Chains A and B, each alone.
Chain A
Amino acid sequence: MNFGIFLEQIPDEGIAWWQNLASGLGWTLGTAFFAWILAFTLGSIIGVVRTTDKRWLVRLGDAYVELFRNIPLIVQFFIWYFVVPNVIPAVKAWVIAADPTDFQFLTAIVCLGLFTSARIAEQVRSGIQSLSQGQRNAGYAIGLTQTQTYRYVLLPMAYRIIIPPLTSEVMNLIKNTAVAYSIGLVELFFRTREMAEMTFRYFEVFAAATLIYMLIAFSANRVMAFIERRVAVPGYIGGGK
């Protein structure tokens, strides 16, 4: 076991192995960041839609969640990367003109964003439904519209309740970016495999990758815990400690 390998130069590239892994880490974090924004926005909208009194909207939201929850992530990556451009000519024309790396990055964000949004939608729905019917009725009773009831009564409480499961989703999202290696995105896991295959130092390389993934997932966990404490309503669920 010799961790000095990370300081060695990569043949023909002029940079050290650790720099190669660091560039992979950059792609991993970038993908996770943008995918989270997409997932949180879409997931919130669909989660709310699933608790409204419009039956067709609820059905549509349910269908969306089931679609993305029931297909393995790696299959979704394949569909977005290989199938979608081939069935939609406009996308195909754009893909050929676009920079291949940009397209891989975008595919990863869209794929992970939609996949995670379905899971967040489920949590937003359960968060809202965990509130007593009385809260919704109270909102209507003081003359708020449905939108206002969500904005000022239901969502502020529901989001606080679901911070712990959302923390898991952030961590899952970060770890799921590793699947993007399957479409050739040069993220951390891709760089890890590449380095292992070229240096044959499987133990050292994967030990380093494991540590890096643990560190970033754990940092995300701490950030969410901080948010949870800051927004806690004293005496209410999740507001203890």
Chain B
Amino acid sequence: MKKIMTIAAVIVAAGFVTSAAAQELTGTLKKVKETGSFTVGYRESSIPFSYLDDKQQPIGYAMELCMRVVDAVKADLKMPGLKVNLQPVTSSNRIPLLQNGTIDMECGSTTNSVQRQQQVSFGPTYFVINVTAAVKKNSGINTFADLNGKTVSTTSGTTSVPLIKAYEKTKDVAVKEIYGKDHAESFLLLADDRASAFIMDDILLAGQIANSKDPAAYKILPESLRQEPYSMMLRKDDPQFKALVDKTVGAIMKSGEIDKIYAKWFTSPIPPKGINMNFPMTPPIREAFKNPNDKGVQ
């Protein structure tokens, strides 16, 4: 009996020691320290946020900001040799992969919504988009109302899906939705005339159009279904890592360095084909840079 008590005491004591050590680092930073690696989730065709270049390397505006966070992690943990893994994710697997620890941060075109904040956390807003539609110029479609009775494509697993359904209900417009499994596929449905419109975030539409065979054939409708903030996605309840992300990205925004990074990806030719998104900073984006925040859309 005495022996058992001693063993129990040792176990309890050991428990105290480990928990005391764990208080220094928690969540993602602790995991990174222990495994010696950090995994960034990227998107393969979210131009110009996160996409593959001609060498199949993920690049983009969000990737550039995320790499600055990775540098901050290296400095913070004093691990210059930290192994950085890059893992492609899709609209529908990004949240589970983040939650189960496959990726430590998602860098792409993810909408920061209040609903998603119940599952995950977000860094500072780095872009603000309008959900709208791309159509062919020769289609004669100029407003959402013109889409009545037409087929529209969208990408499954995105916030556009419930938005279209809500719009149909409030405006008494009936459309037939077909789904692509990624933005390139949804755009292909529009390009092939199998859908009259592709409903998605304006900047992603601009990216698909700029990359298409004939960019002059498409236009983006001026109407907006909703404005949404974009940000990098982090695991929930991980204050240490979130503070580091907020500090790093916030400093880039406040110092004005963000203007240069923005110009590089949105108003200059970008790899691999040298296309230009031609998407100057809008007032809501300027506002987000002035006051870095992680407010989600309802």
Contact = CB atoms under 8 A, between A and B. Distances in A.
B39 interface: no
Interface stretch (B72-80, B161-169, B277-285): B161-169
Interface of B: 91-92, 95-96, 115-116, 118-119, 151, 156-157, 161-162, 165-166, 169, 176, 178-181, 185, 188, 192-195
Most A CB contacts (10 A, CB to CB) among B91, B92, B178 go to B178
Most A CB contacts (10 A, CB to CB) among B116, B161, B179, B195 go to B179
A13 B181 contact: no
Contacts of B193: 96
A172 to B, nearest CB: 22
Interface string A70-93: 000000000000100110000010
B245 to A, nearest CB: 21
B156 A85 contact: no
Interface string A188-219: 00100110111010100000000000000000
B162 A11 contact: yes
**Interface bin, chain A:** 20 to 34
A184 B179 contact: yes
A100 B151 contact: yes
A12 B110 CA distance: 22
5 closest A-B pairs by beta carbon, nearest first, are A184-B179, A197-B157, A200-B119, A12-B165, A100-B178
Nearest to A182: B181
Interface of A: 11-13, 82, 85-86, 92, 95-96, 99-101, 104, 181-182, 184, 186, 190, 193-194, 196-198, 200, 202
B180 A193 contact: no
A95 B176 CA distance: 15
B192 A86 contact: yes
Given A12-B166, A190-B156, A196-B92, A181 B181 contact: yes
Contacts of B115: 200
B92 to A, nearest CB: 5
Contact of A193 (B156, B166, B178): B156
Contact of B176 (A82, A101, A196, A200): A101
Given A13-B165, A100-B178, A181-B181, A194 B192 contact: no
Contact of B194 (A13, A95, A194, A197): A95
